[in-house]
Each structure stands twice: as structure tokens, then as C-alpha cells.
Structure 1
Amino acid sequence: MTQPDYIIVGAGAAGCVLAARLTEDAGTTVLLLEAGGSDRKLTIAMPAAIPFVYQKKSLGWNEQAGPEPYLVGQMIDEKRGKVLGGSTSVNAMIFNRGNRLDFDGWAAQGLKGWGWQDVLPYFRRMESFSEGASATRGGNGPLKVTRAKAAHPLFDVYMRSGEQAGHARPADHNSGDQEGMHIAQCTIGNGRRWNAAQAFLRPALNRPNLTLKSGLQVVRVLFDGLRVCGVQLSDGTRIEAAKEVILAASNVGAAKLLLLSGVGPADDLRALGIPVVLDQPHVGQNLENHPGVNLQYAARREDTLVSQLGLAGQVRLGLEWLLFRRGLGASNFFEAGAFVKTHDGADYANLQLEFLPLARRVVNGKVTVFPGFQLWMDLSRPQSRGHIRLRSANPSDAPEIVFNHLKEREDQLDMIRSVRLARDLFAQPAWDGIRGAEVNPTADMKTDDDILTWVRSAVGTSYHPSGATRMAVRPQDGVVDAECRVHGISGLRVVGPGVMPRITTGNLSAPTYMIAEKIADAIRGRKSV
């Protein structure tokens, strides 16, 4: 391939979809560039091996957010995949489309074609749901989505406690009726992680019009005036594109590349000696994430999943998965959750819960488990905003990432309400005889001030950064237009979670796949499914 029509930067969810869909047209040539290496690793394929994937530095960019000024200067690890499949090769495989009102909210900002009814066909096209096709679910798409087995008894206890606490239980939380308790849906197929490379890229790699090059880091986009002409790699190599360069390099990666290339706040760029191509103050701004905390209780070993994870249990887990692709090895363990309101005034669910029938802590950088159970609670639609900025003009330097978690008082109140809501859930009769002492925080932390003090020290994230290259009708309000074209630049798009004008209610992989499906159609001149 001498000069491809399209250069796609990043082989994550968005990049794999775009590469597969664009090359369905035999006359279109695509070069897909990925900084990481192969995803063909047992720890990636086995769903239960998530902790090992998280700890493998070679599979990620090893970035930290902070110091977070409203969390007593805390630094927060952020995970994004540096491997084929991107973050879909290292995430927890939880599949949540988001709330229909999220997308209707995008449309209400003037972004035509992004309402729930507009995006639903793309959600359907991309998936093969294990329970079959319907008016809202897809049955023959590349991405395998299954409902978790949730076989451990504590999942049933959790679900019953939610019903006792007055929470609904929708039949399918991904069909538009999201609020309430649910058994999780996961991107797991045939007992293995079904990442973007497995679903979209690998079936397309035999096409002569698609070229994949991995282990190559793009350090800047090249311009001829205000038109993009190609990209430059870390070794100085320049590659030209005949039509477009598409940045599918994650929220952080895309914002960083734009800034390194001279598209961003002019004063910041000049201060680092970067020639300004376009003064665009929104690049790196509007940064969102889902901040959260774990509430943990002790329990008897025999009542929890820990009883199955001793040495003999681990051997059985590994063998059963290797031989039959079933059993605990085929589980991501996050098999039940919920979307609920933290208060009656919320217009729709603003809190996500994820339950585990064991308790985890990090000791010397490694995840260890102990007898108990825990509930992860994150704010689905926080009000606080942060930023991404370059520390230098050196592409090897990690950017400054600050989320400003809990800056806004409403976010503080919602975290306090979340802890109280979770305590109420675990106080239900379903837990009688099972729940032990509250471990994290401790039961003596009762006042709002007590809880907030603990929260400030305990906040982590769900690894869902978004919004740093947000979509908006006008360049005064955002970075890209409704077809993800960078305002003021020709031949350049950004496709991924960074373009979300407002973060979705849930995990971000599913809507990222959808965004790429939709933009692939826009590039191909197909306006609807």
C-alpha cells in the first residue's frame, strides 16, 4: 500500500470498527496503526484473568491522573490499553449501552442524528446478543454479548436485597429501560473475552485493502495549511493519507495527539514551543470520568467466592477454562449491578453499582482478595470537569491529567448519598446471617462529614475518561462536528469516547463501538442503517 485513503490511529474499539467497515468497500484502502502489540495472550483471552491484565504494564500506557486538588492531592491510576483491541483487551468486559436519555440529551444540543432512536440501529448492527434479536437487540453482529450466569448464591442475595429496598428489575437494561437492578451483560463469547480485535479486526485482516501495522507510535499529525496530509511516527517516518486521518486513539490519546500537532489552546502550545496550526481552546477540556468508591463488608469464607479461589480452586478454574472454555475462568466476576438515582430529584439514574461476591484490596501493587463482598459505586453523570494538558513537547512524556473529582458540591453530596444508599441495600433482610462487619469504610463513619472525609481518600475511577475532544455544532463550543470532523481542519476526524458531548450512564466501550459504526457510515456516504 503506497498511499492509503485513510490512516486510522489506534486499534481499539473505534479503530477496529472503522477499519473493518471502511474496507467492506473494495475500492477503499486503509492503514491501521497501533502502538501496542498482539492481543493473543491467555491472560487477555481468559475473562477471569482481569487482575493480571490490569497489572501488566506492557499492555497499558501507565498514566496517572492528579494530583487531584479536591481529593487531598491523591494520584489515581488510569488504565487504557496499549495493545491490539485497545482498552477492550484490558477492560472488565461489562456491556452497557447507556441511558436512552443520554443520547436524546446529545440531540437536544443540536447534534442531529444522535438521539436514542437514531443510534439504536447501530447498537443493534454491531452486536450478537445471546438471547436473540429483537426490536432493540441485534442477533448477527460481530460483537458477542452474553448475559452473565451469576451462579454464585450471593448474586441472588444481592438482587433480592435490591428488590427489598424498592429498586426495579428491568427485563433488559440495555433496551432503553435502564433503571434498577440487573444481571450484567458482558462482551464474552464462547467463554473468552470478545474484544474489538476478535470481533471486528481479525475477520477483516485478509482483505487486500486493509493493512495493519502494530508497534508503531504516531507522534503527530502532519498538515499542509489547514488540511491534514498524513502522520509522523516516533522514528521520524512520515506516512501520507489520500483522504483522511482518523484519530481513534482513545480520549487521552486523541487529545494528546491534537495538542502535539498544534491544534489546541494557542497560548499553551506556544509556551511549549509547539507551532500553532489552529487555536482551539476546547482540546483537552471538558474532561469527564466516573469517580467511585468500594463499600466492603466482611463475611464467612464459605459464603463468598473466596472459598472457590484457593490453590485447588485456581487449578480447577484454569483447567476447566483451558479445556472447555467454561466455569469461573469464563467469568469477569462483575456479574450483577444496578443503575439507580441517588435522590428523588434526579431526572434519571445517576449512580452505577457493580457487585462482587468477594472483597478485594491492593497490597504492594497487587490485587488480593479476602472473605467478604463489595459494591462499587460510581457517579454516572458527575458535574465536575477536568483537563488534559501537555507537560512538554516530547511525545514520550505522559500528559497532565486532572479530573477535578468532587470539585462540585453536588458530586460530594451524591457520593455521600451513594454510601447511604449502599448501606441501606446491605441492611435488607436478604443479607441477614451473611453480612459481617463493614470493613471499608467502617460503621462508625456516620455523619456526612465522616463519609466525605473517607470518600476523598478512597475515590478511584471506572477508567471511563471522555469528552476531551467533545462534539458540538459550533467550534466555539467543541472540537468536532456531528460527523466527528475537527472544526476548522479538513481531512481530520476524531472517533472515540473523547467526542462524547456528555458522558454516558454506564461503561464506555459499547457507546464507543456505536459511535464508530455511525461515523463509518457517514464516511461511506451511508446516512442510516
Structure 2
Amino acid sequence: MDHLGSWRFLKVFLPAVFALHHFCHAETAPYYSFVQEATSAPLVSYYDYIIVGGGTAGCPLAATLSESANVLILERGGSPYLDPINKTDKENFFLPLLDPSPHSYAQAFVSEDGVYNHQARVLGGASVFNAGFYSHAETDFIKEAGLDGSLVNDSYLWVEKKVAFKSPVLQWQSAVRDGLLEAGVLPFNGFTYGHINGTKIGASIFDMDGHRHSAADLLEYADPMKIKIYLHATVPKIMLITEIGSRPRAEGVIFEDALGVRHTAFLTKDSESEIILSAGTIGSTQLLMLSGIGPAHQLEALGIQVVMNQPMVGQGMADNPLNGLFIPSPLPVEVSLVSLVGITQFGSYIEAGSGLNLAPSLVQWISKSLVTILNQTEAKVNSSSLLGARLKVGIIIEKVNGPISTGHLELQSTNPNDMPKVMFNYFQAPEDLRKCVQGMETLINVVNSKAFSKFRYPTISTQDLLNLVATLPLNLRPRHLNTATSLEQYCLDTVMTIWHYHGGCHVGKVVDQDFRVLGVDDLRVIDSSTFNFSPGTNPQATVMMLGRYMGIKIQQDRHS
């Protein structure tokens, strides 16, 4: 076949292959005609609502608002549907988190505490690379936020029709469940979306085939004629104008496409038009400051014109600390992420996963430590049998609920692509450290339970497991001689993130009860930056619910 013939063949063959691929994965890879690269955007455009951030809250919010208004989403990342279909599947959980490329779904950074963290940059936000657990908020969260209970329930249901599935509970997860009950995390509440003390099976955004569904799937609800989404659209600032005798008002946004070309999107002249920040705890806080709303001394030091001196922007930022154990298993373990949770009375949540694919570098770290630990025991264990691309290892973790310890965010530059400095002050409050120690004690009781015994090498003690984690480079914090022997020091030295950031734009301090920025017209923040504490055991269900909830509330206000 000559070159011309080959080209003709490919022109016919390749589209057929792509069409077949799309058909086979239609449920996990929806096609949205309204999602385009920002390079195709007009230089000037007008919308009723401009949403900065197409993440866990932004997607359901935009889909809802598009029912009655023209909506624009500006997302700084790409689409989760364009990469290989299995990149975000359950068994590949760690891969997006370890992707060092500049266009990865998760932008890595290290907090000022020396803890590895990530910020989402993909349509669908962190729901594209998280552990998938789906569970409602506690009643106290809904009450404290002043939300309408009936609309909250309707909004959860709207989300669940697209993205929630009952979690499978196979052998490893069953052993953890029964171990939690033996350890006294009672009662057993079966399968429920609700947040109830005890042990329960929850839902997941992974379907029964292990395919991930994310907040981006909620865009299937959108009116395609009234919504536009631009990808790789970076917003350096909100355009705020201040007329004499008036409050500052949001007028539009400037955004840059992948080629560095600047575009401007203005609000229409409709009196109800708004700009809404849904860029996440870090992104929304950073963007307020870049736009001139924040602590004046910080902004002036970077040459940012102060529109409003707001010292509370960036303050009170928190992350729920995570600690846990890696457990080598004599039996094969299934691929599982979080299927169930132990909700303790004292404020610690216990979850587990097993059999995941890991990056070669992480396998190497764990394998070296495993070999060292195994050689120090009397167990005649062939360490190589534990290793490979998928480890015969599970992990059980505990998360401290409602940490009292909080920190802050500071800009490092005026470049929106530069990560700001974030300090979470993990375990600064003694109460948080006490909860971690109690959580680790409960976790150790689970590992030592009769129910879990078949997944334990009898000659590898829990002290050996603590020693193992103490040797892993899980963060950049200093190690101490008593890391593995004092649970207090273990919590301090081996702390990791669970990516449940919140705060920085608190209700009553930066935004009002309807999430409008205090002192500024036509500007809201709707995401986890407004939370006083992270809702439920895992916040994504509530963040998606909030997007839908506020979309309806804003529509109701608009029509009234």
C-alpha cells in the first residue's frame, strides 16, 4: 500500500476505532459538546454566571444554573475523559497522584509543615483522583450551615443518581469491618449514606467494574445550549470595579489560554449576574488575594492593588491529619479502596484499602523496608512474594475529625500558577494529638483482632508494623528516635494528608450565610474553603450536594 493509500485507510480506520472506544466506554466517558480548549474562546464574551473552577462543587453548580441562565466555567486543568480510560480506575488510584507532568490531574506541593499534598487541576476536581468514598455530612454540619434539610436531601439524591454506587465488601474489607466491631466501634449500621457512630458500609463513586465516576459526570444534567466550559483557562484575577460612594463590584474575569493569550469574560448587565469562585480551598482563597481582597500588608508587599483590606482571607485553614499502618498479607488481597468506615465516639474515623497498583519508586521504598522488617523477625517469609506492581499489602488509616489546629495561606507571587505557601499546623492542638493516639490504638486493636488474623503474619508484631511506617519517606518531617515506640511521636512524625482541606474563606468572616463575599457585590465563594470543619467522614458527597443546593437557591433568588 502506498503512502496515499495508507493515509486514506487511516482516515477511515482511526475514526472507527475511536468511535468504538467511545461506544464501549460511553458510561464512563461522556461527550460534552460544550467543553472546549480555552484557545477557542473569543477574546471578549458575556455570561450571566461565570464560575472559576470546574471541580467538585463547580460542576453541579454550573449544571444547575444552566437550567435557566447562560453559564461559563473556567477550568485551569484538562478533561478526565481524554486520557486512557483506566487512568483513574480503582486499581490505578496512586498513578495520578504520582504523575510529575505539568498537566497532571493533581498538582503536587509540600505544605510548610513538610507534608506532601495535592491541589486538583482537572474538570471534576479532586473527585477525579480521590479514594472514592461517598457519605453524607453529619446533622450538625447541616444545622450549623443553616441549610434547608429537605433541599439538602433532594440535592444529595440528584447527585447520587449519576455518581454513587454501593461499595463492594470483599474479604479484606470484611476482615476490617469485623475487626472494627471486635475493637468496639459499635454498632454495625449496615449500608447507609448517613453519618452514624459505629461501623458502616458506605457508597462509592467507583461503579461495580471499578470505573470512576466524578463530579464531571454531573454535567450530563446541564443544558448544552446554555453552558460553556473552557479548559486550560487560568484566571490571574477577578475584575473588580469601585465607583465613588459604592462597594466594590465584580465585573468580569481575565483568563489566559494554554498559549498565553488573554481573554475577558464579562457579566451581562442582568442585575442578578454573578462571579462564583469554586476553585477549592486553596484556589479560591488564592484568587481572592490576587484580586485585591485580603490582608493589605501581604498584598501590598507583592504590588497588588488593595481593593478591600480583609485580614481573615486565608486564615483558619485546616487539613484533617491522617496516620496509619501498612500490613503485609500472607494471602492475596483484593483491589479495594474505602468501602466502609469506623466512626468512633471520640472523633477518629478508620478506613482501609488493599492491593493497589503503585509507582515503581513507591514499591521500591516499601519493599526495602519490608525486607528489613521481615529479616528481623522469625518469620520464614519469602519477601519477594509480597512485591510486584501490586503489593500483597493493605493499609488501614485513621483520620482525626474536626481538627482544632489551623493554619493559614500566604501568596508567594502574583503568578496564579505558583502554589501559595500553606501551613496547616498539624497536631498543634493537644486535643488533636489525643484523638490521633486513640485512633491509632483502635486501629492496632483491629489489626490484632481475631477477624483480621488471616491477613496477618503471626510473627510480625504490631511494633514491627509501626517500625515499617516509621522508616518510609511519607513526608519531609524529621524522624525521632522514639517515633515507632511513642504513639504521640508516631502521629507527629508520620502524619500525611487525606486531602480534606477546608477554611480560608469562612462563613461570617469572609462570606455571608449565602456565600456572598462580604463587602463586595456580585461575587460568591462556593466550595470547601467556606467550611468550619470537613463534613462527614469524607467531604466529596457534601461538596457536590452544595453545588446543586446553591444552584437551586440562586435560581430561586433570581426568579423571585
For normalisation by structure 2, the TM-score amounts to 0.76
CA contact (8 A) 2:168 2:208 kept: no
Match of residue 255 from structure 2: 233
> Structure 1 residues 360 and 168 mapped into 2: Cα distance closer, same or farther (>3 Å)?
farther
- Residue 60, structure 1, aligned to residue 105, structure 2: yes
What residue identity is the alignment partner of 2:137? Answer: G
> Structure 1 residues 285 and 60 mapped into 2: Cα distance closer, same or farther (>3 Å)?
farther
Match of residue 461 from structure 1: 497
How many Å apart are 1:406 and its aligned residue?
A: 0.6
1:282-297 to 2 correspondences below 5 Å:
282-297=312-327
> Structure 1 residues 388 and 16 mapped into 2: Cα distance closer, same or farther (>3 Å)?
same
Match of residue 33 from structure 1: 74
Distance across 1 between alignment mates of 2:126 and 2:97:
11
Match of residue 179 from structure 2: 161
How many Å apart are 1:363 and its aligned residue?
A: 6.3
Specify every segment of 5 or more residues in structure 1 that has no aligned partner in the other structure, as ranges: 69-74, 129-142, 306-327, 343-349, 473-477
Distance across 2 between alignment mates of 1:433 and 1:89:
33
1:326-345 to 2 correspondences below 5 Å:
332-342=336-346
How many Å apart are 1:448 and its aligned residue?
A: 10
How many Å apart are 1:219 and its aligned residue?
A: 1.0
- Residue 119, structure 1, aligned to residue 152, structure 2: yes
CA contact (8 A) 1:294 1:440 kept: no
Post-superposition CA distance 1:187-209 (Å, at most 9, x none): 134632111112x21442x6222
Distance across 2 between alignment mates of 1:462 and 1:491:
33
CA contact (8 A) 1:230 1:240 kept: yes
Distance across 1 between alignment mates of 2:342 and 2:491:
20
What residue identity is the alignment partner of 1:214? Answer: L
What residue identity is the alignment partner of 1:208? Answer: M
CA contact (8 A) 2:111 2:117 kept: no
1:209-220 to 2 correspondences below 5 Å:
209-220=226-237
What residue identity is the alignment partner of 2:142? Answer: F
* SS of corresponding position for 1:48: helix
Specify every segment of 5 or more residues in structure 2 that has no aligned partner in the other structure, as ranges: 1-41, 243-247, 367-388, 471-480
> Which residue, 296, 299, 317 being the options, matches 1:266?
296
Match of residue 321 from structure 1: none
> Which residue, 349, 352, 356 being the options, matches 2:349?
352
CA contact (8 A) 2:92 2:356 kept: no
Match of residue 206 from structure 2: 188
- Residue 397, structure 1, aligned to residue 418, structure 2: yes
> Which residue, 66, 80, 85 being the options, matches 2:124?
85
* SS of corresponding position for 2:57: helix
Distance across 2 between alignment mates of 1:338 and 1:149:
16
1:442-453 to 2 correspondences below 5 Å:
442=467, 450-453=486-489
Post-superposition CA distance 1:372-402 (Å, at most 9, x none): 4321111121110011110122223210011
CA contact (8 A) 1:383 1:408 kept: yes
1:381-392 to 2 correspondences below 5 Å:
381-392=402-413
- Number of aligned positions between the proteins: 458
* SS of corresponding position for 2:316: coil
Match of residue 313 from structure 1: none
Distance across 1 between alignment mates of 2:445 and 2:131:
26
- Residue 246, structure 1, aligned to residue 276, structure 2: yes
CA contact (8 A) 2:206 2:212 kept: yes
> Structure 1 residues 335 and 498 mapped into 2: Cα distance closer, same or farther (>3 Å)?
same
Distance across 2 between alignment mates of 1:423 and 1:467:
31
Match of residue 494 from structure 1: 525
Q: Which has the larger radius of gyration?
A: 2
Post-superposition CA distance 1:401-421 (Å, at most 9, x none): 110001111111111111111
CA contact (8 A) 1:44 1:193 kept: no
What residue identity is the alignment partner of 1:193? Answer: R
Distance across 2 between alignment mates of 1:363 and 1:259:
39
Match of residue 147 from structure 1: 166
CA contact (8 A) 1:285 1:467 kept: yes
* SS of corresponding position for 1:413: helix
Distance across 1 between alignment mates of 2:133 and 2:158:
18
> Structure 1 residues 405 and 421 mapped into 2: Cα distance closer, same or farther (>3 Å)?
same
User: Percent of counterpart pairs with the same letter?
Assistant: 23
How many Å apart are 1:527 and its aligned residue?
A: 10
How many Å apart are 1:357 and its aligned residue?
A: 3.8
How many Å apart are 1:118 and its aligned residue?
A: 5.9
Distance across 1 between alignment mates of 2:204 and 2:198:
18
Post-superposition CA distance 1:121-147 (Å, at most 9, x none): 32233322xxxxxxxxxxxxxx33111
For the aligned residues, what is the CA RMSD? 2.7
What residue identity is the alignment partner of 1:33? Answer: L
CA contact (8 A) 1:292 1:459 kept: yes
Match of residue 24 from structure 1: 67
CA contact (8 A) 2:94 2:357 kept: no
Match of residue 241 from structure 2: 224
What residue identity is the alignment partner of 2:311? Answer: P
Match of residue 314 from structure 1: none
Distance across 1 between alignment mates of 2:88 and 2:434:
39
CA contact (8 A) 1:416 1:448 kept: no
Match of residue 94 from structure 2: 51
1:295-314 to 2 correspondences below 5 Å:
295-300=325-330, 302-305=331-334
Moved more, 440-449 or 398-407: 440-449
Distance across 2 between alignment mates of 1:193 and 1:414:
32
